[in-house]
């Protein structure tokens, strides 16, 4: 029995797609679009806008596929393009307010979210102002460091930390409100 490595087939598929093979591009899109739509959705409340940015992001992926060096994760490479596409869109719309006023940073632990659904958590994140939401997503979900966030968004590290602190604080307050309403309904 001959064993074919999955990695080589992924490399082959990427190579074909970079040569404008539409079937290979479609296959890559089908493999990665569900997860990448989730990435776009983290930054945008409206599913339709998230879908539009997903398509714009994949256009960039296929346009720049020849630059992928097969060093590191292909999914991570696509993810970075999607995040950058979302950030660019939000910047153009001028919906991001990233100020460092009232800076205080605190590592206080957030309440347990074990019994909270993913949909409810996403609703809580969607309630954040765009600046808070973007820094929160980049830090807590994408795993960026404050120095990377600062560089990417053109802000100081202290502003990034401040935005994260404020996002966490607002998430806690909204979580408490949500649970108070749920418990009052019972």
The dihedral through the CA atoms of 128, 133, 139, 142 has a sign that is positive
Residues of the chain with pLDDT under 70: 1-8, 94-115, 181-186
How much is the pLDDT for 8?
Answer: 55
How many helices (H) and strands (E) the chain has is answered by: 8, 0
CA–CA gap between residue 55 and residue 83 (Å, rounded): 13
Residue with tokens 């679009």: 33
How much is the pLDDT for 110?
Answer: 40
How much is the pLDDT for 18?
Answer: 92
């Amino acid at each position: 029995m001959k064993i074919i490595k999955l990695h080589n087939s992924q490399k082959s598929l990427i190579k074909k797609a970079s040569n404008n093979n539409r079937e290979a591009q479609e296959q890559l899109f089908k493999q990665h679009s569900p997860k990448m739509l989730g990435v776009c959705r983290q930054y945008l409340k409206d599913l339709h806008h998230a879908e539009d940015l997903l398509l714009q992001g994949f256009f960039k992926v296929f346009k720049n596929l020849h630059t992928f060096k097969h060093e590191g994760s292909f999914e991570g490479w696509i993810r970075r393009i999607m995040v950058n596409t979302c950030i660019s869109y939000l910047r153009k719309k001028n919906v991001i307010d990233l100020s460092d006023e009232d800076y205080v940073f605190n590592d206080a632990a957030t309440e347990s979210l074990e019994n909270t659904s993913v949909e409810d958590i996403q609703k809580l994140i969607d309630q954040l102002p765009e600046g808070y939401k973007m820094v929160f997503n980049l830090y807590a979900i994408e795993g960026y460091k404050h120095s990377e966030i600062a560089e990417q968004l053109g802000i100081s590290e202290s502003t990034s930390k401040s935005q994260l602190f404020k996002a966490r604080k607002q998430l806690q307050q909204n979580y408490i409100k949500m649970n108070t309403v749920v418990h009052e309904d019972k």
